[in-house]
Amino acid sequence: MARAATVHVCSACAHESPRWLGQCPGCGAWGTITEERASRPTGGRGGSPSSGATRGRSSSGVPAATPTRLRDVTAPRVPRLRTGLVEVDRVLGGGLVPGSLVLLGGSPGIGKSTLLNTVLGHLQGAGSRTLYVSGEESAAQVRLRAERLAVPPSSGDGGAGQDADPVGLESALDVPILAETDLPTVIATIEAERPDVCVIDSVQTMHDPDLSGAPGSVSQVREVAGRLMEVAKRLDVATVLVGHVTKEGALAGPRVLEHLVDCVLQFEGERERTYRTLRASKNRFGSTNEAGVFEMRGAGLVEVLDPSARFVGEATRAAGSVILCAMEGTRPLLVEVQALVSPSELVPPRRVCNGIDRNRLALVLAVLSRHAGLSTSTHDVFVNVVGGVRCDEPGADLAVALAVASAARGIVPTIPGPSGPSENGEPEDLPVACFGEVGLTGELRGVAHADRRLAEARKFGLGGVVQPERQPTLRDALRSALPRRG
């Protein structure tokens, strides 16, 4: 009996190879090549469109299509489906687009299913037809989570500030659910129910019996996503696919999955912390610069409509702590940056950071040593952005530099108040807020939306702001925020 033909496929980029390789030549990843059964080639559609092609018909006999000018194409305005969560709608660009395909990824236990249960509950209560397809949990398990969302929280579970009030979602129990992993059954149910929004939790658990390979393999994920996209476009069903992530935090499965969908959402955060952040790394219907902030409570996820109030209220007035005026898309955000500098017995000393890029920390430490006379070559340096927030923008450089310098010198960063002396005659000191990019020559460079950052700082009484417009160099910024005592 002839041996079935096989092919070796990379699980990261779907690159195919006739033999096994340790390193994928397509993406450079190690240990991602797996053996799968080769699919049967489709005949009758090949041929080169070169010699013998005539106008209106190719060399293979297939009639050519007629292109249309863009000015003649009609683009109707499609109303979006509001999810009932302001933070989710902001990240999506205004809501779910009918017929769109959205991929939601996140670490296990981060709250993806809870977030989608809340969204479906709001949509069901607003009159939209919904469908929840669960391939990982039974219907009874999903009901238990929906019951937790439907119970109004106690008065002690409420939040302070301007956060959204966690209300009971009775409509979460009215969402139809299908606990199935067979793809033909799922597609037949979608065609019969015709929902407005459908959630597939998760795409790695769906299985097409016409294909070889286990659920979650490259071929299965690729074909399952392709067939679900065809159904979503044909029936105008907004479909949300839940995706797994790897140990490094990247979306699992072939890279073609991210190219196939219309929007890629990342649900980030740490399970030990209560705050979660929703970001879009790809969005065909909106911006990729927006971010939504949530807090995990006993009754589920709650929107944090004003995260700056939370982070500033919890800020520590101590050496090594400053307030960063960051930008999350179009929203200004105030977060606390903390640093700890301690003598080290290791060579080289440790550089540990959470919430910022490690390479940016190394750059800031080098500039501090060269242009500010502050060397940390014999000290361990730890930097943390409080609340599990991640700041990847260059405007965070100055906050890291001030926090490290404050911790190294043991001086609480302060800025004299603009109103002059206080009632007791002493200068009024305010918490230090700052933003700016640190250049390699020790200068401070301006960043985008400086006026909005300043307005957000003044909103919370942070009148003293260290910025490139006032302090042109890093040495000037340290002199203003860390005056030497005595």
CATH code, 258? 3.40.50.300
Span 429-459, pLDDT tens digits: 567 899 999 999 999 999 999 999 999 998 8
| Structural domain boundaries, residue 430 | 314-481
Is the same domain home to 18 and 155? no
Domain count, the chain: 3
> Does 282 share its domain with 171?
yes
Helix 474-481 vs helix 397-409: crossing angle, to nearest 10? 50
Angle at 209 between CA 206 and CA 212, to 5 degrees: 95
292 with 348, same domain: the answer is no
Q: Where among 305, 323, 346 does a domain terminate?
A: 305
State the pLDDT confidence band at 54, using cuts at 50, 70 and 90: very low
Residues 263 and 374 in one domain: no
CA distance 400 to 434: 10
Residues 383 and 323 in one domain: yes
The pLDDT, as a whole number, for residue 217 is: 83
Is the residue at 413 inside a domain?
Answer: yes
Q: Which has the higher per-residue pLDDT, 339 or 386?
A: 339
> Is residue 64 one of the residues assigned to a domain?
no
Indicate if 237 and 371 belong to the same structural domain. no
Confidence of residue 207 (pLDDT cuts 50, 70, 90): very high
47 occurs within a structural domain: no
Is position 361 within any domain? yes
Structure tokens that stand for 470 in this block: 């006032």
The residue out of 305, 324, 350 marking a domain boundary is 305
What does the pLDDT read at residue 35? 79
Residue 209 lies in a domain: yes
Q: Are residues 404 and 268 in the same domain?
A: no
Per-residue pLDDT tens for 388-426? 788 888 999 999 999 999 999 999 988 765 544 444 444
Cα separations in angstroms, 137 against 103, 181, 224: 19, 11, 19
Q: Say if residue 333 is in the same domain as residue 262.
A: no
Model confidence at 51, in pLDDT bands (50, 70, 90)?
very low
Q: Is there a domain that residue 51 lies in? A: no
| Backbone torsions φ then ψ of 288, nearest 5 degrees | -100, 10
Asked whether residue 114 is assigned to any structural domain, the reply reads yes
Confirm whether 77 is domain-assigned.
no
In terms of domains, do 159 and 282 share one? Answer: yes
| CATH number of the domain within which 390 lies | 3.30.230.10
Q: 250 with 320, same domain?
A: no
* Tens digit of each residue's pLDDT (9 = 90 or more) over 84-138: 999 999 999 999 999 999 999 988 888 999 999 999 999 999 999 999 999 999 9
Taking only the tens place, the pLDDT of each residue in 358-372 is 999 999 999 999 999
Same domain, 275 and 375: no
pLDDT at 475 over 80: yes
SS3 365: helix
Q: What is the pLDDT of residues 216-263, one digit of tens each?
A: 888 888 899 999 999 999 999 999 999 988 776 777 777 778 889 999
CB 287 within 8 A of CB 93: yes
Where a domain ends, among 262, 277, 305? Answer: 305
Using an 8 Å Cβ cutoff, are 111 and 117 in contact? Answer: no
**What's the start-to-end Cα distance of the chain, in Å?**
91
Kindly state whether residues 286 and 322 are assigned to the same domain: no
